């Protein structure tokens, strides 16, 4: 007898849309929030406002209404900040309907120096709020050449999306709508030259544009089934050192970022606390950029292990770190790797762990409690944390603080001009 099919459930009703969505309101913008938006209040409710600047009065439309806050898009600036400028990307300008504004340059309407001030405020507020740390007079440092170009011409990698009609372009802010554009002002000249902005693609999901520091720029089309053509490795240069990697592998996007972070990590390490024979680590190591920074500062005998979960990157790291006798690259999930460190260590290895310098450059979500808890069990001499998200870093800094590790040095870098992102490099010791 065939099994009876379970009765069909009635379709679930669509979630009710808050009647506030679509409402147009006048707002006094009072501050900046993490994520590239500003803060206002309407009848006591917090409103996160896109495309505004603290100090402005704007006319905005509510796009999302939660119980505790709203989100809104600026439609018109009624009283402009002295820091407002014509948007560096015409296709992202406030002159356009919000749904038709290109995403990826959410601070492009703000003068560059004031962008950095707002980023400083976000970073210092996050550290104060989540870690109870006073960051003092933190400065968000510009990278070479950015002031001269008003923060344009720095992206060496750009991913364009392909819409159902074959049109190529960036997504609109906070959506998956593809916006056709005529320019890519944040991209380097090499990227802009090959950008297929007027081309229609069939069976394509995305188009990657890559301009390595060594070699010609290239275009990589990913089809809707996720396939790409066979690709040769590319080579990136940092000073006199060369790094080989997959064409679509991770590398710092700003043309000067790899050089800036190499120097920042080298500065951050306390030489008096560094032991080249210790169990030094480079976690989330990629193709070995920061492990090489350590090796270049402290010599060919430096012992350092680079840990990365993506096996092709680990293979490249092994080659890129071959100059150092004590360097090795391991494919492993960082959480699992650090969990085994203390459990499996001999007495001699425990001593090497306590003398270690650990460099970690986690993804945007941060290292997290599981990794931090295991790291502090090894009692390293110093941690050098490279962070691309100030809130995630502040949460991790709070966990480290509970274990007795405080911030001894902190630098901030504007690696992503005309966006809300910044990079932090910190040294933490007991």
Query: pLDDT value at position 342?
Result: 75
End-to-end CA, the chain: 71
Q: What is the mean pLDDT of residues 378-388?
A: 97
Cα-based angle 198, 201, 205 (whole degrees, multiple of 5): 120
Same structural domain, 277 and 203: no
Query: pLDDT value at position 15?
Result: 43
Q: Which of 12-26, 304-318, 338-352, 356-370 has the lowest mean pLDDT?
A: 12-26
Number of domains the chain is built from: 3
Same structural domain, 219 and 260: no
Among 237, 272, 298, identify where a domain stops. 237
Same structural domain, 290 and 363: yes
Say whether 252 counts as a known binding-site residue.
yes
> Is a pLDDT exceeding 80 seen at residue 195?
yes
Query: pLDDT value at position 36?
Result: 97
Same structural domain, 367 and 327: yes
Residue 242 lies in a domain: no
Q: Which of 221, 210, 281 shows the shortest CA–CA distance to 246?
A: 210
127 alpha carbon, distance to own chain's centre: 17
> Is a pLDDT exceeding 90 seen at residue 178?
yes
What distance in Å separates the CA atoms of residue 181 and residue 160, rounded to the nearest whole number? 10
Q: What is the mean pLDDT of residues 6-14?
A: 40
Q: Which residue has the higher pLDDT, 10 or 260?
A: 260
Same structural domain, 338 and 416: yes
Among 84, 109, 132, identify where a domain stops. 84
Query: pLDDT value at position 17?
Result: 61
Where are any strands of DSSP class E within 51-99?
Answer: 57-65, 69-79
> Is a pLDDT exceeding 80 seen at residue 165?
yes
Same structural domain, 223 and 323: no
CB 196 within 8 A of CB 207: yes
> Is a pLDDT exceeding 80 seen at residue 7?
no
Same structural domain, 224 and 260: no
Same structural domain, 338 and 411: yes
Q: The domain spanning residue 55 has which CATH number?
A: 2.40.50.140
Residue 104 lies in a domain: no
> Is a pLDDT exceeding 70 seen at residue 51?
yes
Same structural domain, 218 and 259: no
Among the options 388, 412, 415, 425, which is catalytic?
388
Query: pLDDT value at position 341?
Result: 87
Query: pLDDT value at position 18?
Result: 73
Residue 111 lies in a domain: no
> Is a pLDDT exceeding 70 seen at residue 122?
yes
What distance in Å separates the CA atoms of residue 74 and residue 97, rounded to the nearest whole number? 9
> Is a pLDDT exceeding 50 seen at residue 6?
no
Say whether 284 counts as a known binding-site residue.
yes
Among 56, 84, 112, identify where a domain stops. 84
Mean pLDDT of the chain: 94
Q: What is the mean pLDDT of residues 278-303?
A: 97
Please indicate whether residue 407 is annotated as part of the active site.
no
Over residues 224-252, the pLDDT tens digits come to 999 999 999 999 999 999 999 999 999 99
Residue 380 lies in a domain: yes
Residue 15 lies in a domain: no
Same structural domain, 280 and 226: no
Say whether 308 counts as a known binding-site residue.
yes
Residue 120 lies in a domain: no
Q: What is the mean pLDDT of residues 359-385?
A: 97
Residues above pLDDT 90, as percent of the chain: 91
Say whether 361 counts as a known binding-site residue.
yes
Q: pLDDT band at 14, cuts 50/70/90? A: very low
Q: Is 41 helix (H, G, I), strand (E, B) or coil?
A: strand
Same structural domain, 232 and 261: no
DSSP for 185-243, written as a single string: TTB-HHHHHH--TT---SSEEEEEEE--SBS--EEEEEETTS-------EEEEETTEEE
Residue 9 lies in a domain: no
Query: pLDDT value at position 174?
Result: 85
Q: pLDDT band at 346, cuts 50/70/90? A: confident
Q: Which residue has the higher pLDDT, 40 or 173?
A: 40
Q: pLDDT band at 347, cuts 50/70/90? A: confident
Q: The domain spanning residue 287 has which CATH number?
A: 3.40.50.150
Residue 68 lies in a domain: yes
What distance in Å separates the CA atoms of residue 93 and residue 101, rounded to the nearest whole number? 7
Query: pLDDT value at position 349?
Result: 86
Q: What is the mean pLDDT of residues 186-209?
A: 97
Domain containing residue 194: 157-237
Query: pLDDT value at position 130?
Result: 97
Q: What is the mean pLDDT of residues 93-112?
A: 97
Same structural domain, 218 and 266: no
> Is a pLDDT exceeding 60 seen at residue 323?
yes
Query: pLDDT value at position 350?
Result: 87
What distance in Å separates the CA atoms of residue 427 and residue 383, rounded to the nearest whole number? 6
């Amino acid at each position: 007898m065939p099994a009876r099919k379970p009765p069909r459930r009635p379709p679930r009703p669509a979630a009710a849309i808050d009647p506030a969505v679509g409402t147009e309101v006048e707002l006094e913008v009072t501050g900046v929030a993490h994520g590239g938006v500003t803060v206002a209040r309407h009848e006591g409710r917090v409103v996160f406002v896109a495309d505004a600047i603290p100090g402005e009065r704007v006319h905005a439309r509510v796009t999302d209404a939660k119980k505790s806050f709203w989100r809104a898009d600026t439609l018109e600036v009624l009283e402009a900040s002295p820091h407002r400028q014509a948007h560096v990307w015409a296709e992202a300008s406030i002159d356009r309907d919000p749904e038709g504004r290109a995403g990826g340059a959410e601070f492009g309407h703000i003068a560059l120096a004031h962008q950095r001030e707002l980023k400083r405020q976000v970073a210092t507020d996050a550290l104060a709020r989540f870690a109870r740390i006073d960051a003092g007079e933190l400065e968000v440092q510009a990278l070479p050449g950015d002031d001269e170009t008003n923060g344009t011409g720095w992206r060496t990698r750009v991913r364009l999306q392909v819409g159902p009609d074959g049109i190529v372009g960036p997504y609109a802010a906070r959506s998956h709508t593809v916006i056709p554009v005529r320019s890519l002002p944040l991209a380097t000249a090499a990227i802009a030259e090959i950008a297929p902005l007027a081309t229609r693609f069939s069976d394509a999901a995305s188009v990657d544009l890559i301009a390595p520091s060594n070699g010609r720029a290239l275009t990589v089309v990913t089809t809707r089934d996720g396939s790409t053509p066979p690709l040769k490795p590319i080579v990136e240069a940092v000073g006199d050192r060369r790094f080989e990697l997959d064409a679509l592998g991770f590398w710092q996007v700003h043309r000067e970022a790899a050089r800036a972070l190499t120097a920042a990590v080298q500065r951050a390490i306390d030489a008096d606390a560094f032991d080249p024979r210790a169990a030094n680590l480079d976690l989330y190591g990629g193709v070995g950029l920061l492990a090489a920074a350590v090796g270049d500062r402290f010599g060919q005998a430096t012992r350092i292990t680079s840990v990365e979960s993506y096996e092709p990157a680990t293979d490249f790291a092994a080659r890129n770190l071959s100059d150092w006798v004590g360097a090795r690259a391991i494919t492993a999930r960082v959480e699992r790797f650090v969990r085994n460190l203390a459990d499996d260590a001999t007495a001699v290895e425990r001593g090497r762990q306590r003398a270690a310098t650990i460099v970690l450059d986690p993804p945007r979500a941060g290292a997290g409690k599981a990794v931090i808890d295991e790291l502090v069990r090894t009692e390293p001499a110093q941690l050098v944390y490279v962070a691309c998200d100030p809130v995630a870093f502040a949460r991790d800094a709070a966990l480290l603080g509970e274990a007795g590790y405080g911030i001894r040095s902190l630098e901030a870098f504007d690696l992503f001009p005309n966006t809300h992102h910044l990079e932090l490099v910190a040294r933490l010791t007991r």
